[in-house]
Structures are given as structure tokens and as C-alpha cells.
Structure 1
Amino acid sequence: MDVSLTLWVLTILGLSALIAVDFFIGRKPHDVSIKEAGIWTVVWIVLAALFGVGLLIFGGGQPAGEFFAGFITEKSLSVDNLFVFVLIMAKFAVPTQYQQRVLLIGVLIALVLRAVFIAAGAAIIASFSWVFYIFGAFLIYTAWKLIQEARADEEDEEYEENRLLKAAEKRFGVADRYHGTKLWIQQNGKRVMTPMLVVMLAIGTTDVLFALDSIPAIFGLTEDPYIVFTANAFALMGLRQLYFLIGGLLKKLVHLSYGLSVILGFIGVKLVLHALHESGLHVPEISIPVSLGVICTVLIVTTITSLMASKKQAEAEAKAAETAEAAEAAGETSKNSVGS
């Protein structure tokens, strides 16, 4: 897809305007309700769908298919980010009324950093086609690692600050409490960061780790930097509302890691096949419609099986609790009989 500089500028301005509207509507710190989060989640999905339809009308079926496949993939991978966001919010004890501001700025930092990754990835791909072998192998390895982590089922997982964040805290110092939405304050005659700024940086920089697999994954679906960037932008910008909407459901998505590992492994194989094809070997390539179908099917199956497993576990726990209460009651009755 041939994208002019004018279209790039207009797209960035349009996305900036949407972000500004989102910011000013929610600029007053408050607890985000399920209704508010649901409305805005639908708004961002509708905007992404309209953008995809625009690509279909003006660019054709191929760019539109690549965008929707990329958007769905990035959206599903971004849900995995939410698990870490929950850990970060708990680690820094972020008051609920400030969480939406933290997520908005943190996601903006993540979007800027991803734009750098996308630009670098596009430049590498344009110069070295063999990089698809590396991307494919990395995604297959990541898929295997996700399965191992899911099987380990580490319930005591905690967030650990990265080196960049620790260096910033050591260099500038951190206040001992939150000061509203302020990012810097004067403390003992020294300008120090507030916990609000620290947690924003934590969310923004932590997303870089997720970009290491999500960026190669979407390049496996399209080599167009414009589609890669816009798919990432729409997926990330709705992440804040998704956090509040499905925060309580995250623990129920017990099979999400398995689903994501299947998607990453599938795209990794697609990349390797594409690299072999580019090298002159006559191997079958996986089309965008097939990719979109596989991704959607895996996500639907994963969600259904997760909810079924969670429901079964909840029933088992409730039954175990009832059995324990009955045993305890029987023990009390027996003790009273002996005493009388």
C-alpha cells in the first residue's frame, strides 16, 4: 500500500485528536465505572472498524484484511499486558481514582516506544529479508515459553522494576506518597518524582517487553509500516478502558496463555514459510484470510474453554467449602454430645 507523507501526517493528527478527546473527557480523577469503560471500549472498537472499512474502500481488500488481522492479534496480545498492569497497580498501591490517568499516560509512552520499534523493524525488513527467519524462530520460541509459563502456574508472581526505572528513581528520588496527579514536587529543597510518575514510567517501559513479540507478530501478517502502526495504535488506545472493563475477568481467562502461544506459533510458522518463499523455494504460504480465521477461532475457543474451566473450579471450591463446613459442624455436635 503506497502511503504518502500527507496521509501519514493526517493519520497521526487524527489519532492525536482522538487521544486528546479521551484525555479531556476523563481528565478529572474518578473511579471508572463498568458502564463508562464499556462505552469507551465499544467506541474504540468501532473507530478501529471504521478505519478498516476506510482501508477497504480506498486501499482494497488486502490492506483491510491485514489491518483487521493485525488489530485482532495486537488486541489479544495486549490483554496479556493487563495481567502485568494489575501487578504494577498493586505494587505501587495506586489509588483507584488515579488509575485511569496512570494508564492513559503509560499507554501513550508505550505507543511512542512502539513507533520506534516499528520504524526500526520496517527498516531492517526492507534491507534484510532473511530477518523473517529470526522473527519466525523468535515467535515460535516465545510460544513455547508461554506454554511453559502457563503450565508452571505461578500464583505468587510479583512485578519487579526494570533497570531503567530503578536508575530514574535513584537519580531523581521519589516522594513517599501520592500528591494528586502531580508528577514532580519539591521535597526538602529538592525536586523529586512522585509515585504517579514512577508508575506511569513502569507501565510505559514494561510494554517494551511485550512489543518484542507483538511487533514481529504483526510484521508476520503485513510488511506495511502504516498498517502495523495504526493496528498497534488502535489496539493500545482502547487498552485503558479494557483494563477497567475486564479487570475482574482476567483471572477467569485461565487458558489465555495457551491461546496466545498458538497464535504466536502459527504466525512464527507463517514467517518462516514466507522467508523460504522469498529465498526461492516453492513452499505454500498462509494467506491473510486463513490467518484471520485461525486467530479468531483460537481466541473464541480459548475464551469459551477458560470460562468453562473457571466455572468448574468455582463449583469445586464451593463444594469443598460446604464439605468443610459440614465436617466442622459435625465435629462441634460430637464434642457437645461428649460434654453432656
Structure 2
Amino acid sequence: MDVSPLVWTLTIAGIVLLLLFDYFFHVRKAHVPELREAAIWSSVYVGIALLFGVGVLVLGGGAAGSEYFSGYITEKALSVDNLFVFLIIMTSFRVPREDQQKVLLFGITFSLAARTGFIFLGAALINSFAWVFYIFGLILLITAGNMLKPESSESRHDENIAVRVARRLFHTSPDYDGDKLFTIHDGKRALTPMLLVMVAIGGTDLLFALDSIPAIFGLTQDVYIVFTATAFSLLGLRQLYFLLDGLLDRLIYLSYGLAIILAFIGVKLVLHALHENNVPFINGGEHVPVFEISTGLSLTVIIGVIVVTVVASLWSKAGRAQTAISNARRHATDYLDLGYTADHSERIRVYAALCEEETTIKNLGEKYRQKARDEEELMDLLHRAHAEHDESVRRAARDGTA
């Protein structure tokens, strides 16, 4: 697409305004968004992205429109996978639920800035060195292989190097002080866990960019389309996090679907690199006549893989069991952690959700009930959560009598 500087300026200004709107009208005051709020605003951001895609289709033509939608869908799918890691990071740092929105918005803003830098760097490399397509394709193929490897929950909870360095070099406080980044601890100025979790999210975002940017460059080399598809896939991610809360574990086949998509794009990049080849030790530096995958075929494969992955995950009884067990463990832990939130209504919501997940496990059949019973740590958490709830009810009854 031939995009003028004015269009670039208006596009960037619009994206910045959407981020500012999100901050000043949604996350400035700490609160836990209700499902209805998350659903409405998630739909609004998806609608904006789709309308923009229609504009690209009308003004830029069918090829540009297909490239935009292929890139947007791929980046959106990858962003959903990123939410798994965001959830793990915020759980491990015990981020109060009412402050999670601000952490997510910081992560989205940092991610957008980092990926913008990677996009222009990638575009410069591609324009100067055609062999970069080989590198990008190899990165995606390796990433696809890594996504198929089993990963323990402990390894995903490990703090990244930036957080470990921060804890080692600076005085840090063990507790949150609202949403402040700095506080006074033991008479000295200290970093709060809120700042550390933002560092963790930011460091993780950089790793995500190393996967996502080569993926979208495998679908289009138009910098404007790459930038806008990436930006719109990130906008609304905060709302999507709360909309999918409790359902992320249900998508048990998502990693397989994403691995297929990344491997497919990796092969597409290698084929394109062979077609444009100028590396001396490959075919004498001459172009290699190979089949090139069209944008239309790419879009069809991406949509098809995502649909099959999501449907298979939602229909899977094993997926429902895994979701219920994971959510029961998370809700029991949150309920027992009295420092998790100062909002009493949030504790009531967490306990109700815990009871609902236990009911789901009971209704799934003996095989999955036994699976839950075999997890001694889970059973201990559930027992302690119910004991704590019973005690709080007795305390409330005594206080009411008094």
C-alpha cells in the first residue's frame, strides 16, 4: 500500500488516543471489571479493528485486505496465548485483582512500543538483506517445535532475569502499597511488587515480539499493514483477559494450533526466501523455482486451524476437567490469601466461583473426580478454603448477635 505521511500520522494518533482513553476512563480508578463491561469493550475494540480492515480492503485492494486480516487474526491468536503467561505472572506476584487492569495496560503499551521498534528494524533488514527471510523462517520453525514441548508450571512461574537483578540490586518491599511503584519499607525507599510485576511483563513482552513479528512479516512485508494489524491485535487485550478469565485453561489445544500456524508461516517464509534467493552457497546465488503460498491460502489455513483448535478444546471433556481443576485451585488460593484484595465482595465472588468449579468437577464423572482427589495439594487447599469460609460465617453471625 502507498500510505502518505498524513495517513501514518492520523493512524498513530488514533492508536495513542485509544490507549489514553483506556487509561483515563477505565484503569485510572482501580476496580474489577464485570463480565458485561469486559464483553462490551472487547467487542468495541474488535469492531474497530474489523472496520479498519474493511477500510484497508476498500482503499488498498483485495490483496492488502487479505494481508491485514491474516496478520490481525494471527497476532490476535498469539496474544491470547500471551494471556496465559500474563495470568501466571500476576498470580505468582499476587497482584490484587482490582489492580490487574493497570498492569495489563502497561504491558500492552510496552509491547506496542517494543514491537513497533522490531517492525521498523525488521523492515529495514528485509529491504537490505533478502536472506533475513531464512532467519525469520527458522525462528518460527524453532518456536513451533518449542510450543509442542511439555512445560512444567514451575518453569513458567520462574522470575525472569530482569526481576532477579532488580531484587538483587535494589531494596524491595514484600507487600503492595496500592498501585504505587515505590514505597517506604524499613525506613527506606523501596520498589514495590507492582513495579517488579511490570518489569516481568515488559521482559516477557520482548520475548513475545521475537515470535510475533517474524510471524506477521511472513504474511506481508507492507510495514503499514504489519504495524496496524499488530497494534489492533494488542488493543482490547486487557478486556479480553477479563472476558476469558477462567476459560484460558480450557483451550488445551491452543498451543498445538499456534504451533501449526507458526510452522506453516515458517515454511512460507523459507519458500519465499528460496524464491528471492541471493545467498551464494544456495543454488549459486540464483533464485530457486519453488511453490509460493498465496495470502488467500494463508488466511484460509490460519482461520481453519484456529476454528478447529478452539472447537476441539471447548468440546473436550478433558479440557473441561482441566479448566475446573485449575480454576478451583486458583480460587481456593485467592480466597485463602487475605492480602489478595481488600474488597469483601471480591472474596464472596471468589468463594462462589470455587463452589461452582467443585460442582463442575463432581458432574464430570468418576474419572475426573478421582483425578482431582489424587492431587493432595488441591484437596488441602479446598479443605482450608471451606474451613476459612465456615469460620468467617461464624464470625459474622457472632458479630450480628452482638
**TM-score w.r.t. length of structure 1:** 0.89
- How far is the alpha carbon of 1:317 from its aligned partner? 5.3
Which stretches in structure 2 are left out of the alignment for 5+ residues? 278-286, 322-360, 372-402
Equivalent in the alignment of 2:313: 306
Over aligned residues, Cα RMSD in angstroms? Answer: 2.0
Write the deviation string for residues 205-246 of structure 1: whole angstroms up to 9, x where unpaired.
211111111110000001112211111111112211111111
Q: Is structure 2 residue 211 aligned with structure 1 residue 213? A: yes
Write the deviation string for residues 122-149 of structure 1: whole angstroms up to 9, x where unpaired.
11111100110111122112112212x2
User: What SS does the aligned partner of 1:248 have?
Assistant: coil
CA contact (8 A) 2:173 2:193 kept: yes
- How far is the alpha carbon of 1:247 from its aligned partner? 2.1
Distance 1:89 1:236 in 2: 18
Equivalent in the alignment of 1:163: 161
Q: 1:155 to 1:198 in 2, by over 3 A?
A: closer
Distance 2:175 2:309 in 1: 41
Q: Is structure 2 residue 295 aligned with structure 1 residue 288? A: yes
Aligned residue identity for 1:4: S
CA contact (8 A) 1:273 1:283 kept: yes
Matches for 1:203-242 after TM superposition, within 5 Å: 203-242=201-240
Q: 1:201 aligns with which of 187, 199, 207?
A: 199
Equivalent in the alignment of 2:18: 18
Q: 1:312 to 1:257 in 2, by over 3 A?
A: closer
Q: 1:286 to 1:184 in 2, by over 3 A?
A: same
Which piece of structure 1 moves more, 258-267 or 54-63?
Answer: 54-63
CA contact (8 A) 2:252 2:319 kept: no
Write the deviation string for residues 62-86 of structure 1: whole angstroms up to 9, x where unpaired.
2221111001000001111111111
- How far is the alpha carbon of 1:2 from its aligned partner? 2.1
Distance 1:24 1:91 in 2: 27
Equivalent in the alignment of 1:120: 121
Distance 1:135 1:110 in 2: 19
Which piece of structure 1 moves more, 229-238 or 155-164?
Answer: 155-164
**TM-score w.r.t. length of structure 2:** 0.76
Q: Is structure 2 residue 99 aligned with structure 1 residue 92? A: no
User: What SS does the aligned partner of 1:36 have?
Assistant: helix
CA contact (8 A) 2:251 2:319 kept: no
Q: Which has the higher contact order (CA 8 A, sep 6+)?
A: 1
Which piece of structure 1 moves more, 55-64 or 102-111?
Answer: 55-64
Equivalent in the alignment of 2:2: 2
Which piece of structure 1 moves more, 159-168 or 59-68?
Answer: 159-168
- How far is the alpha carbon of 1:155 from its aligned partner? 4.7
Equivalent in the alignment of 1:334: none
Equivalent in the alignment of 2:254: 256
- How far is the alpha carbon of 1:121 from its aligned partner? 0.8
Which piece of structure 1 moves more, 109-118 or 295-304?
Answer: 109-118
- How far is the alpha carbon of 1:281 from its aligned partner? 2.0
Equivalent in the alignment of 1:335: none
Aligned residue identity for 1:265: A
- How far is the alpha carbon of 1:172 from its aligned partner? 3.4
- How far is the alpha carbon of 1:109 from its aligned partner? 1.1
Identity of aligned residues (%): 53
Aligned residues: 321
User: What SS does the aligned partner of 2:190 have?
Assistant: strand
Equivalent in the alignment of 1:318: 365
Aligned residue identity for 2:274: L
CA contact (8 A) 1:133 1:271 kept: yes
CA contact (8 A) 2:68 2:226 kept: yes
Distance 2:239 2:24 in 1: 15
